Amino acid sequence: EDKVVQSPLSLVVHEGDTVTLNCSYEVTNFRSLLWYKQEKKAPTFLFMLTSSGIEKKSGRLSSILDKKELFSILNITATQTGDSAVYLCAVNSNSGYALNFGKGTSLLVTP
Amino acid sequence: GAVVSQHPSRVICKSGTSVKIECRSLDFQATTMFWYRQFPKKSLMLMATSNEGSKATYEQGVEKDKFLINHASLTLSTLTVTSAHPEDSSFYICSGLAGGYNEQFFGPGTRLTVL
């Protein structure tokens, strides 16, 4: 059975800190790994990773995938209070386009 | 980016009634739509995969007679929760898959509360 495990489950940091969120997975016929940010409503897309070792970057956020060790990390530098959210990792396999989500990491950035 | 809308955004109903939730892709044709459910402080769980013009594929443990899915056009899928009960109260989110892309575009979600 496919499995996506995120850690930590929750995290509290001060503004300006750098955080690293982890996502490990076990999936048959891996196709891609996606990161989403969820505040009060539906998830908003951050990154999609398909190849190992290639960092994707968007402002203060970056992510990388290791297909050999079956994990991905999401980094947020110089955190701001607006980064407070649940960050979801999801994996997609070749058996279809449905996403298998992890439980998420709840990040709280305090002023 | 592609936009998916859901209606209603919030609904409160009495136990035993049926509720229909609409999911529309506004600026693209969604050959496939997905329905997810999210309970408080939990992650999204896939309920079913819906392909235009064919029957939906339900995940294990999701009752197809209780959660009726219709995907009659490339821009509209509906989820009907029949004879809703308080344990069906949840956040229901749909997503659309644009043809040729490996990316899902999520709707804003519908919060269902069954009294």
Q: Which residues of B lie inside 8 Å of A (Cβ-Cβ)?
A: 1, 32, 34, 42-46, 49, 93, 95, 97, 102-109
The answer to whether residues B56 and B65 touch, using CB atoms and an 8 Å cutoff, is no
* Phi, psi for residue A70 in degrees, rounded to 5: 60, 55
DSSP assigned state of B59:
P
In terms of phi and psi (left: phi > 0; alpha: psi -120 to 50; beta: otherwise), the region of A55 is beta
- Closest approach of chain B CAs to the CA of A41, in angstroms? 6
Residue B102 pLDDT > 70: no
Over residues A42-95, the pLDDT tens digits come to 888 899 999 899 999 999 999 999 999 999 999 999 999 999 999 999 998 877
Nearest to B102 among A31, A100, A104 (CB): A31
The answer to whether residues A72 and A65 touch, using CB atoms and an 8 Å cutoff, is yes
Chain-chain contact of B104 with A99 (C-beta, under 8 angstroms): yes
H/E run at residue B30: strand B30-38
Over residues B12-52, the pLDDT tens digits come to 999 999 999 999 999 888 889 999 999 887 889 999 999 88
Whether A103 and chain B come into contact, CB under 8 Å, resolves to yes
Whether A93 and chain B come into contact, CB under 8 Å, resolves to no
| Cβ neighbours for A58, distance < 8 A, ≥ 6 positions apart | A46, A47
